[in-house]
Amino acid sequence: MGFQFHLMKTEKETGARLGKIITAHGEFETPAFIPVGSQASIKSMTSDDLIEIGVEIISNNSYHLYLRPGHRIIEQLGGLHRFMNWNHPILTDSGGYQLFSLGQLREICTDGVMFQSHIDGSRHFISPEMAIEIQRSLGADIIMSLDECIPYPASYEYALRSTTLTTEWARQCKEALRGNGQALFGIVQGGMFEDLREKSARELREIGFDGYAIGGLSVGESPEVMYHIISHTSPLLPREKPRYLMGVGKPEDLIDAVKGGVDLFDCVIPTRNARNGMLFTSFGKLVIKNARYATDERPIEEWCGCYTCRHHSRAYLRHLYMAREILALRLNTIHNLYYYVHLIKGLREAIRQDRLVNFCKQWKKKRENKDDL
């Protein structure tokens, strides 16, 4: 069974969308949040942990897996789902973002990117065809076109040249696709320039993809600029295909983007912040190392249903963090992922019941009450 997206509803007041994605490894509703598992592991989590949290789809990173353990090894072992024992939907990034953030001594040409591994300095060349071949070997349900992710700020000329290149690479990716049931998404680039976003979206629509991503955001621009580009770009994308905002973001960013008609998100924030002791709650950020939690018997959040909140006090979590215990990473990650997954589920219900604006108002109001922190 191949990939399907069903748009079930668009909320009139906001334009927020409720949808369903069906893959060979199961289905899930959108909006959906995709935890990031760069190296075939959502850091510190087993598949059972993720299922218990309510995670429905995870991402993996082609750049990392190409370098280690190697996509051929994963293919030989039956693909990524089997390799990491996750029998649910997986999305793989093409590696574009990592090529430009981790790879060293890059040389970009129309054919692809020459780069040195951040692990051992070895030289590699990734073309659009190669990006598809790697992702075919890995076997994810949703795969991404190779794109150039430009820094911020970038000149109009550079952004224009790069957008043209990304379109060309997207075309080559589409042509390299073997039609094995994997859904291929194109990635809209164009920096912070409205007309380049329009050009990118138009050209990608002409090629035709199973879904469309908005890339190149959360790279240093202000939240206002980011939201402007999202709300400008989202309506340019085909109504009947899923829209995926890459690498974003904070809970408030997700809420704004859902209102702007975005369906999918991935971001390291919940997992990375968890490992740094920054916990999300409905009343704001809780920094677990604060001395005020040393004897605080309450869970992170009283009404949270996650494993961590059901079993452990802030005092214990603070102790684990201060003592640099490994368990701190895991318990904090469970809580933050649960927060994100359940925020998204709350947004779904609000869209279903035509009360998203009210949901968001209440959500923001709760945050102003810091008594429970």
Interface ranges with its own copies (CB under 8 A): 39-41, 43-48, 64, 68-69, 73, 76-78, 83-85, 294-295, 297, 307, 311-313, 315-316, 318-320, 322-323, 325-327, 329-331
CA distance 196 to 55: 34
Pairing of strands 17-23, 26-30: antiparallel
Helix (H, G, I), strand (E, B) or coil at 292: helix
CA distance 314 to 133: 46
Within 8 A by CB and 6+ apart from 143, the residues are 91, 92, 94, 132, 135, 136, 182, 183, 184, 185
If the CB atoms of residues 80 and 146 are measured against its own copies, the closer one turns out to be 80
DSSP for 207-218 reads H--SEEEE-S-S
Query: Would you please indicate which residues are annotated as catalytic (active-site) residues?
Result: 93, 266
DSSP state of 352: H
Greatest Cα pair distance, the chain, in angstroms, is 60
If the CB atoms of residues 50 and 262 are measured against its own copies, the closer one turns out to be 50
Question: What are φ and ψ of residue 204, in 5° steps?
Answer: -70, -40
If the CB atoms of residues 82 and 364 are measured against its own copies, the closer one turns out to be 82
If the CB atoms of residues 199 and 330 are measured against its own copies, the closer one turns out to be 330
Beta-bridged to residue 21, according to DSSP, are 5, 28
Tell me how far, at minimum, the Cβ of 242 lies from its own copies, in Å.
29
Tell me how far, at minimum, the Cβ of 83 lies from its own copies, in Å.
6
If the CB atoms of residues 184 and 286 are measured against its own copies, the closer one turns out to be 286
Tell me how far, at minimum, the Cβ of 201 lies from its own copies, in Å.
36
Tell me how far, at minimum, the Cβ of 39 lies from its own copies, in Å.
5
Place of tokens 């906001």: 14
Question: What are φ and ψ of residue 233, in 5° steps?
Answer: -80, -40
Q: Are 315 and 295 in contact (CB under 8 A)?
A: yes
Tell me how far, at minimum, the Cβ of 307 lies from its own copies, in Å.
8
Residue/partner pairs of 1-9 with CB below 8 Å, 24 or more apart: 1/181, 2/181, 2/183, 3/141, 3/142, 3/181, 3/182, 3/183, 3/210, 5/30, 5/210, 5/211, 5/240, 5/241, 5/242, 7/239, 7/240, 9/351, 9/352
If the CB atoms of residues 69 and 238 are measured against its own copies, the closer one turns out to be 69
Tell me how far, at minimum, the Cβ of 165 lies from its own copies, in Å.
31
66, two tokens = 């190409």
Tell me how far, at minimum, the Cβ of 276 lies from its own copies, in Å.
13
If the CB atoms of residues 232 and 312 are measured against its own copies, the closer one turns out to be 312
Question: What are φ and ψ of residue 287, in 5° steps?
Answer: -95, 105
Residue 253: which of 18, 31, 61, 98 has the closest Cα? 31
Give the Cα-Cα-Cα angle 113, 114, 117 (nearest 5 degrees): 115
